[in-house]
Structure 1
Amino acid sequence: MNGLTLAYIGDAYYELKIRDYLLSKGLTNVNQLHKQAIKFTKGEAQSNIITYFIEEEMLNEEEMTLYKRGRNQSGPGRKNIDAKVYHQATGFESLIGGLYLSDIKRCDELIAKAMIYIEGGDSNGKNSR
């Protein structure tokens, strides 16, 4: 499966996990749910998450390959986001999509780490730690 297809799957699964997490925190107002979800799912946050994972050496060789498959195969990007950030975010989604298909336990583990990272960071996902 190509990187963009993996990213498509990863985007859907990651979004679902984030929504489930926010609902489990007791949020019920749809506008608040949306605002909180964006904190986790926007490209800048995903770019910061994958940068953190790489810097902390959390990914094995296979996971790095999944990330690079999406990062290197990214389309033209979006107008409201830097190209590098877009490519990194697509790589993150590709990683999640690949792990969703091959190792759901590891996928959920990395998503949990991403949520903790974002909860400890600022509105752009940059962590102060």
Structure 2
Amino acid sequence: MTVDYQQLNGIALAYLGDAVYEPFIRQHMIELGFTKATKLHHHATHYVSAKAQAALIERMQAENVLTDTEVDVFKRGRNAKSHTSAKHTDVLTYRVSTGFEAVFGYLQLTGQTERIAALAHWCIEQVDEGRVSNVN
């Protein structure tokens, strides 16, 4: 069955995108030598929290990392009506991070695995090198 990503709302794309992005972060945490669950979770939040994802997508836009289509998907995710609320951040940051996740969901549905890996590694590099402010 082929899914037309253009028919999916931004929340559905973000739901998938969250699951697509997180394994890259989990593997990176292990590669950094974190093995205890509390340390893994604590350090992972620097990459996967709403604040981190919002800061990363803002940097992507500032540096023109995203394609025009990816920007459109981001906006669809950001503007989607969510019935859940942000737990540890404001609504705007939460919505921007939803847009970030929607991009990864779109890339997964369109079979762009190399692009997913490239963006995930770009994000990891930004956080690791301290290029993303406002994280946690």
Give TM-score, length-normalised by structure 2: 0.85
Structure-2 residue corresponding to 1:82 = 90
Give TM-score, length-normalised by structure 1: 0.89
Cα distance in 1, alignment partners of residues 94 and 129 from structure 2: 22
Cα distance in 2, alignment partners of residues 79 and 37 from structure 1: 17
Cα distance in 1, alignment partners of residues 88 and 40 from structure 2: 22
The alpha carbon displacement at 1:79 in A equals 4.7
Cα distance in 1, alignment partners of residues 129 and 79 from structure 2: 29
CA-to-aligned-CA distance 1:25-53 (integer Å, 9 cap, x gap): 22211111111111111100000000000
Structure-2 residue corresponding to 1:112 = 121
- Structure 2 CA distance for partners of 1:21 and 1:79, relative to 1, 3 Å: closer
Structure-1 residue corresponding to 2:44 = 37
Structure-1 residue corresponding to 2:107 = 99
Runs of 4+ in 1 over 6 A off after TM superposition: none
- In the alignment, structure 1 segments of 5+ residues that lack a partner are none
- In the alignment, structure 2 segments of 5+ residues that lack a partner are 1-7
Q: Which amino acid aligns with 2:128?
A: E
Cα distance in 2, alignment partners of residues 39 and 74 from structure 1: 26
- Equivalenced residues, count: 125
Residue 79 of structure 2, aligned match among 67, 72, 77: 72
Structure-2 residue corresponding to 1:27 = 34
Q: Determine what percentage of the aligned residue pairs are the same residue.
A: 34
Structure-2 residue corresponding to 1:17 = 24
Cα distance in 2, alignment partners of residues 100 and 115 from structure 1: 18
Structure-1 residue corresponding to 2:55 = 48
Residue 6 of structure 1, aligned match among 8, 13, 37: 13
Q: Which amino acid aligns with 1:119?
A: D
